[in-house]
Amino acid sequence: MIYIETGSTDIFYNLATEYYYAAMKPLEDTAFLLWRCGPTLVVGKFQNTLEEIRLDYARAHGINVARRLSGGGTVYFDMGGWEFTFIERDGREAISFQRYTRPILEALRSLGVPADFNGRNDLLIDGRKFSGNSQYKLPGCTVHHGTLMFNVDIAQMVASTSVSDEKILTKSIRSVRERVTNIADHLPRPMDAEAFKEHLIAHVVGEGGARLEPGPADRAEIERFAREKLATWEWRFGRNPKFSIQRAGRFPGGRIEFRLEVKKGEITQAAVSGDFFGSERADGLADALIGCRYDRQALRDRLAERGFDGAVYGITIDDMAATIAD
């Protein structure tokens, strides 16, 4: 087995590294990666990003938003956790989680942590989740990745994916704390994150395992794929399935409501209503939204280009853009 050190805490680079050694420069031996990144929300390949996260909270708190190449649900990463990856050359078509979670469980048990597999895709300690797992298949290859909550900020994890009402949020944090846990809380003896990393590598890869770091040419290709594919708005938001959304706001000029149909990140239908006062230009507001990317800055730019600044009394184009896409 080969251990690959990514040398990065950038979510897009790390996800691209997985793909690079699976599809672009495949290795004959099984590879194991262990990496982490700053605060990030990662949605599954088939999820609607805007339905899964609180984008306004993520922006305000500097939380990245990414989409991975595998299915499954939304996960929260930060520097208090580790993400592991197995890349294996094989001809199996069926997804198998236990094949790759077993060595992780054995490594944890060797530390005295009573970890188990829940039968689907999660790892648990005393019935509480600390790891979610996912896979994707390429021709002749399996990429398996999973999260490891070592000392993750659970409050921020909940706040970035739940409703904003303070009372509900408080209850949500309390509820999630009863269902998830950090590995560090179950270690018989204290261990810092780096020591935990080295223990996992030694246990999974073994003494005879090789270590590999991407060279300059490898890094250039990884960075290119990260930049041109994984970090793009089109990949992170434009893959969203068709959905309907209704948003409203109240301002000094009155109430304004938007009803929209959005497909693949673009507004395909729009209707505007409310008790606001508008000039004749305001009649074309709904039509101006059609074809625009469902993104606050793109909406603001579109409304400015079409001359709607000042078209509605007491409601600016910034107000409208922020109401539609927070």
Other Cβ atoms less than 10 A from the Cβ of 108: the count is 25
**Can you give the pLDDT at residue 163?**
52
Lowest-confidence pick of 38-42, 147-151, 269-273: 269-273
Q: Which residue would you say has higher pLDDT here, 323 or 120? A: 323
Domain extent listing, the chain = 2-236, 243-324
Model pLDDT for residues 250-302, shown as the tens digit of each residue: 998 888 999 999 988 899 999 998 888 877 788 899 999 999 999 999 999 99
Q: Which two tokens stand for residue 231?
A: 């970090």
**Can you give the pLDDT at residue 167?**
46
Other Cβ atoms less than 10 A from the Cβ of 183: the count is 24
DSSP 240: P
Cα 226 to Cα 228: distance, rounded to the nearest angstrom: 6
Q: Which two tokens stand for residue 300?
A: 């603001």
**Can you give the pLDDT at residue 31?**
96
The percent of residues in the chain predicted with pLDDT above 70, rounded, is 94
Model pLDDT for residues 86-118, shown as the tens digit of each residue: 999 987 766 778 899 999 999 999 999 999 998
CA dihedral (221, 223, 228, 229) positive or negative: positive
What pTM value is reported for the model? 0.80
Name the CATH topology of 243-324. Enolase-like; domain 1 (3.30.390)
Model pLDDT for residues 201-214, shown as the tens digit of each residue: 999 998 778 999 99
Query: In Å, how far are 133, 146, 151, 209 from 98, measured between CA atoms?
Result: 10, 12, 24, 21
Q: Which two tokens stand for residue 133?
A: 């797992």
Alpha-carbon torsion angle 223, 227, 228, 230, nearest 10? 100
Q: Which CATH code for domain 2-236?
A: 3.30.930.10
